[in-house]
Structure 1
Amino acid sequence: MKRTTDAAASTSASSCAECRRSKIKCDKVFPCQPCVRRGCAALCPTGTLSATKGNALLAERAQRLAASVQAARAQVAALEAALAPGHPLLQPAPADADVDAVAEALGSVSLGAGGKARYYGESAGAEFLLTHIESPVRAFPPRARGAHSPQEQDADADASPPCDSASGLPPAIIALSRAFPMGASYAHDTHAHAFALVQYLPREDDARALVDAYYATNATMFDPIIRADLLAHILAPLYAPSRPGARVHPHELAILFAVLAAGAQPAPAAAQYHVLARAAFALAPLKHGAGVASVQALFLLTWALRSADPKSHEERWLLAGLCVRVAQQIGLQREVPGAGLGAAEVQTRRYVFWELYFYEAITSLINGRPPALRLEENDCPFAQEYEPFVNAAGNLEESFSGWKHRYGATTLTAVVRHVFLARPAPYAALLALDAEVRGSHVAAHLRCPVDHSDGACAWARDPAKALQQYALLTMHEC
Structure 2
Amino acid sequence: MPPMQTASQSTHRKACKECRRLRLGCDREVPCYNCKRRGCSAICPDGTLEKGARSRSTIIVELQETIAELRNRNYLLEEALKELQTSVSTEQHPLLRDKKLGKTDQVSQHLQSLQAGEDGDEEVLDALGTFSINDTGDISLHGPTAAMEYFIKEGPALPGLEPEERADSPMSLPADFILLSALFPFPPNAVPLEKIEHFIPHLPPFKTAVHLVELYFTHFAWCSNPITKSFFMSNILAECYPAEEPAASLVRTHSHIASTLFMVCGLGMVADFQNKRRFVEAEEYHTLARAALCICPVYEYPTVYAAQSMAVMLLYHMCTEKRSNAYVLALWGVMGRLCEALGLNYDQSKLKKGCTELREQLFWESSNLDSWQAFVSGRPKSISSKVISCRKPPDPETAPGGGWITWKHIFTPALDRVVERAFRAEKGATYSQIQQLEQEIQTIPTPSAISWPKDEEKTTLLGGPRQQVTAMERYLANGSIETAFLHINLWFFRQAIRESPANPFDHPFAYSVRRVIESSIKLLDMLRDIYTYQPINTAVFRPAWTYSYSAAMALGTLILVCPKSADAERALAMLDVACELFIVTQENRRELKARKSLHTLLRLREDAHKARAELRPFISQVETIGFWSGIMNPYNQTPSPTS
- Pairing 1:151-166 to 2, within 5 Å after superposition: 165-166=170-171
CA distance in 2, matches of 1:415, 1:135: 37
In structure 1, the partner of 2:189 is: 185
> What's the CA shift for 1:382?
0.4
- Pairing 1:205-216 to 2, within 5 Å after superposition: 205-216=207-218
SS at match of 1:389: coil
Q: Which residue identity is paired with 1:123?
A: T
Provide closer, same or farther for how the CA distance between residues 322 and 453 of structure 1 changes in structure 2, counting only shifts above 3 A.
same
> What's the CA shift for 1:122?
1.6
Runs of 4+ in 1 over 4 A off after TM superposition: 98-103, 108-112, 134-137, 140-143
| Contact map agreement 1:251 1:280 (CA 8 A) in 2 | yes
- Pairing 1:68-467 to 2, within 5 Å after superposition: 87-90=14-17, 93-97=35-39, 104-107=126-129, 118-131=140-153, 165-167=170-172, 169-188=173-192, 190=193, 192-241=194-243, 245-265=250-270, 267=278, 268-309=280-321, 312-335=324-347, 338=350, 341-385=351-395, 388-391=396-399, 398-409=402-413, 411-417=414-420, 418-452=422-456, 462-467=475-480
Bigger radius of gyration among the two: 1
Q: Which residue identity is paired with 1:215?
A: F
CA distance in 1, matches of 2:265, 2:364: 23
Q: Which residue identity is paired with 1:296?
A: Q
Provide closer, same or farther for how the CA distance between residues 207 and 314 of structure 1 changes in structure 2, counting only shifts above 3 A.
same
| Contact map agreement 1:184 1:284 (CA 8 A) in 2 | no
CA distance in 2, matches of 1:187, 1:95: 55
CA distance in 2, matches of 1:88, 1:236: 70
> What's the CA shift for 1:439?
2.1
> What's the CA shift for 1:239?
0.9
Q: 195-204 vs 321-330, which deviates more?
A: 195-204
SS at match of 1:325: helix
| Contact map agreement 2:266 2:283 (CA 8 A) in 1 | yes
> What's the CA shift for 1:272?
2.2
> What's the CA shift for 1:197?
0.8
- Unaligned runs of at least 5 residues, structure 2: 19-31, 40-56, 62-122, 271-276, 459-472, 492-643
SS at match of 1:223: coil
> What's the CA shift for 1:470?
1.3
> What's the CA shift for 1:110?
7.9
> What's the CA shift for 1:414?
2.2
In structure 2, the partner of 1:474 is: 487
| Contact map agreement 2:200 2:248 (CA 8 A) in 1 | no
> Which of the pair is proportionally richer in helix?
2
SS at match of 1:131: coil
Once the two structures are superposed, residues 404-458 of structure 1 have per-residue CA deviations (whole angstroms, 9 ceiling, x without a partner) of: 233213x22222223322334344433332222122122212224443599xxxx
CA distance in 1, matches of 2:162, 2:171: 7
- Alignment TM-score, normalising by the size of structure 1: 0.66
Q: Which residue identity is paired with 2:408?
A: K
Provide closer, same or farther for how the CA distance between residues 434 and 331 of structure 1 changes in structure 2, counting only shifts above 3 A.
same
In structure 2, the partner of 1:62 is: none
Provide closer, same or farther for how the CA distance between residues 109 and 206 of structure 1 changes in structure 2, counting only shifts above 3 A.
closer
> What's the CA shift for 1:186?
2.3
Provide closer, same or farther for how the CA distance between residues 427 and 350 of structure 1 changes in structure 2, counting only shifts above 3 A.
same
Once the two structures are superposed, residues 35-90 of structure 1 have per-residue CA deviations (whole angstroms, 9 ceiling, x without a partner) of: xxxxxxxxxxxxxxxxxxxxxxxxxxxxxxxxxxxxxxxxxxx99x99x7862242
- Unaligned runs of at least 5 residues, structure 1: 1-77, 146-160, 455-459
CA distance in 1, matches of 2:355, 2:347: 12
SS at match of 2:184: coil
Provide closer, same or farther for how the CA distance between residues 330 and 142 of structure 1 changes in structure 2, counting only shifts above 3 A.
farther
Number of residue pairs matched by the alignment: 363
Provide closer, same or farther for how the CA distance between residues 448 and 231 of structure 1 changes in structure 2, counting only shifts above 3 A.
farther
| Contact map agreement 1:448 1:463 (CA 8 A) in 2 | no
> What's the CA shift for 1:243?
5.3
> What's the CA shift for 1:210?
0.6
> What's the CA shift for 1:336?
5.9
Q: Which residue identity is paired with 1:414?
A: R
SS at match of 1:334: coil
CA distance in 2, matches of 1:119, 1:400: 33
Provide closer, same or farther for how the CA distance between residues 451 and 110 of structure 1 changes in structure 2, counting only shifts above 3 A.
closer
- Alignment TM-score, normalising by the size of structure 2: 0.50
CA distance in 2, matches of 1:451, 1:103: 38
SS at match of 1:462: helix
Over aligned residue pairs, what C-alpha RMSD do you find? 3.9
Once the two structures are superposed, residues 271-317 of structure 1 have per-residue CA deviations (whole angstroms, 9 ceiling, x without a partner) of: 32122112111111123220222222122223223444266322222
Q: Which residue identity is paired with 1:377?
A: V
CA distance in 2, matches of 1:405, 1:103: 28
SS at match of 1:436: helix
Q: Which residue identity is paired with 2:312?
A: L
SS at match of 1:88: coil
